[in-house]
Structure 1
């Protein structure tokens, strides 16, 4: 039996978007929002704040937003005691992956940290196959490899130095985030992903508050622009983190992780637009490679009559624009 249309995003002139498509489109929005969050965080750092302060404030803000949201839109759903305990435990993974990224940045350049961390889509696919949840298709494996290569171009590793401690911290972050994606889906079961996210945020916020209390490292910005970043970062993070697990519940952890490769691409674009950072032709070509990899991994083995896919059309258009930009920059 066909499901009724739920609005213009579900069906328009033959373009269809099912639950998986909505999840992946949400994942693109999450990736871009995470990128905006990172850009604003950097502005806050330059204004006098620091990473631990931003982690604490953004997690607390996301927790507050989610509490208000659940009060206003109550579904009456509940988590069992066992699932609640597991969800609280996942908050430790949230804190661990964030700490891993921060620790890695202390030992090696950000570009190398991000390329190492973004092995998590590949790790997610491998772990999902090993657990028997989703078969590892050659198309998915190739798409993930292409995306990782594209990221190496986007992030420009020519001046990056490999450091054993930095690599280990970034890999710990990647493993923790992979585990977070896979376990949150299992802990959620058929319930509301926001209930799991709420408990994760409670644990993560408690850990960051304790770290601030023990270190005394909480720092507010000293400039007006720094305050813009300090206030804006938690707002974008709230949408990103809450929506991430909704995307996982709709599209699954492997496809969501593949689409999340868009985040560093969006970060580079926002850096160019907002922070006056320079982009080379190779970097833009890397962006097009990442987008192309996501399209390739996203291409479904269609059922007849399924119609065109919104996400594939949008990503294809973005890829073409990035290729044109790469040619223009290269010839310039």
Structure 2
């Protein structure tokens, strides 16, 4: 998810290739969203079979970094980073590192679809962060949509049932939700930095440096044993399959998105990517046997609908 969103702020040059017909663009974005959804489900499968969290992020970021280096090299972009924005690029990389670790931590603890739905509330945090840092105040309609999304999240998490004692959850569940919210907060900070401090930097170069920071951070954390068992290899065949599939799906979706983004008219079609939680719900049910209640499904649809409407309003 975090890698795709950074593409939205790229500005097409006057010599940009012609746009795909909208139905083709929508199909490509839907396929990419499904691949990212499958990546999260595969990650849960890997974690359930002994795969370390740091190892999963390291493999994923390593593949993404190789892809970005290839793109930057083929397109012959300059990789000189002005000193005045170096600290902001470092901050962006650290925020994406935190987002990746927290999202996978959430995926390992709660149903994958709930982790994604909770993390996808980042547009609310971004709007509030932008306002707090001197940006435009959310309009009344935007504020109403944010409340609508939060209401949906309350239903998706079934908080009425939990607080009423009808649904029992463990401390691990609450920790997973906290990780998902932290991932959303980190992503909102990353977007703010991208839009306000690094917008002039080429998107491919910016993303490449971001993945450099993520990769190096994972290596340091692994060698420093910051997270016990974080670099553990899978203990069963299913774990190796999950690790391999998450790398292939993430790398494939990442490649397709970066190669085709100039022709996808993201300002108009980016909302298609919000089908990722829906695909995650389906894959989680089929592959992992994870089910959520009808009220949680309704809440999930409310969250996704609100985010789509909010996105379309901002891009209009």
Q: Confirm or deny a common fold (TM above 0.5).
A: yes
Are 2:168 and 1:159 equivalent residues in the alignment? Answer: yes
* Aligned residue among 38, 41, 44 for 1:42: 44
Matched with 1:234 is 247
TM-score by length of 2: 0.70
Matched with 1:140 is 142
* Aligned residue among 2, 5, 9 for 2:21: 9
Query: Over alpha carbons, which structure has the higher Rg?
Result: 1
Matched with 1:93 is 95
Provide closer, same or farther for how the CA distance between residues 280 and 288 of structure 1 changes in structure 2, counting only shifts above 3 A: same
Greater displacement, 233-242 / 208-217: 233-242
Structure 1: segments with no counterpart, 5+ residues: 304-332
Are 2:297 and 1:288 equivalent residues in the alignment? Answer: no
Are 2:193 and 1:180 equivalent residues in the alignment? Answer: no
Are 2:223 and 1:210 equivalent residues in the alignment? Answer: no
Distance in structure 2 (CA, Å) of the matches to 1:301 and 1:224: 45
SS at match of 1:153: helix
Deviations 1:98-142 (A, max 9, x none): 344566678x75687666644422110112233454441233222
Judge conservation of contact 1:84–1:196 (CA < 8 Å) in 2: no
Provide closer, same or farther for how the CA distance between residues 201 and 230 of structure 1 changes in structure 2, counting only shifts above 3 A: same
Count of aligned pairs between the two proteins: 286
Distance in structure 2 (CA, Å) of the matches to 1:6 and 1:161: 52
Are 2:306 and 1:297 equivalent residues in the alignment? Answer: no
Distance in structure 1 (CA, Å) of the matches to 2:218 and 2:102: 14
Judge conservation of contact 2:267–2:315 (CA < 8 Å) in 1: no
Matched with 2:53 is 51
Distance in structure 1 (CA, Å) of the matches to 2:157 and 2:175: 20
TM-score by length of 1: 0.67
Distance in structure 1 (CA, Å) of the matches to 2:92 and 2:16: 36
Distance in structure 2 (CA, Å) of the matches to 1:104 and 1:275: 15
Judge conservation of contact 2:49–2:235 (CA < 8 Å) in 1: yes
CA RMSD after TM alignment? 4.2
Judge conservation of contact 2:110–2:177 (CA < 8 Å) in 1: no
Distance in structure 1 (CA, Å) of the matches to 2:122 and 2:249: 22
Structure 2: segments with no counterpart, 5+ residues: 1-14, 160-166
Distance in structure 2 (CA, Å) of the matches to 1:4 and 1:148: 38
* Aligned residue among 206, 210, 213 for 1:200: 210
* Aligned residue among 120, 129, 132 for 2:131: 129
